[in-house]
Amino acid sequence: MTTLVANLTTTFIDDAIELVKGFGKVIVHVATAPIERIANACDVGGVLARRRAAQRLRATSYRPRGLRKLSPFASLHHLT
């Protein structure tokens, strides 16, 4: 049986980790927004829109593994 102090500590640590993850997502979004705007402006043939639509149709449970998920630019892999 866990004590109240141990339970509160693990809850606090879990919440702190999620808070840092949330801030990280905001920072990545702000950093990559100009790149996304340029990519969308240059997408004359609609290639990016078709790739995004095809990606939505695939299984939504896919998560990138390895070092790629740690990269702040991992969501821009479709630009290469």
Can you give the pLDDT at residue 64?
56
Can you give the pLDDT at residue 14?
93
pTM tops 0.85: no
Q: How many angstroms separate the CA atoms of 51 and 39, rounded?
A: 13
Q: Look-up: residue for tokens 């990519």? A: 39
Q: Which domain holds residue 54?
A: 4-79
Split into its structural domains, the chain has a count of: 1
Decide: 76 and 35 in contact? Cβ < 8 Å.
Answer: yes
List the chain pLDDT tens, one digit each, 80 residues. Answer: 678 888 889 999 999 999 999 999 999 999 999 998 998 889 888 888 888 888 888 755 555 555 556 667 777 766 66
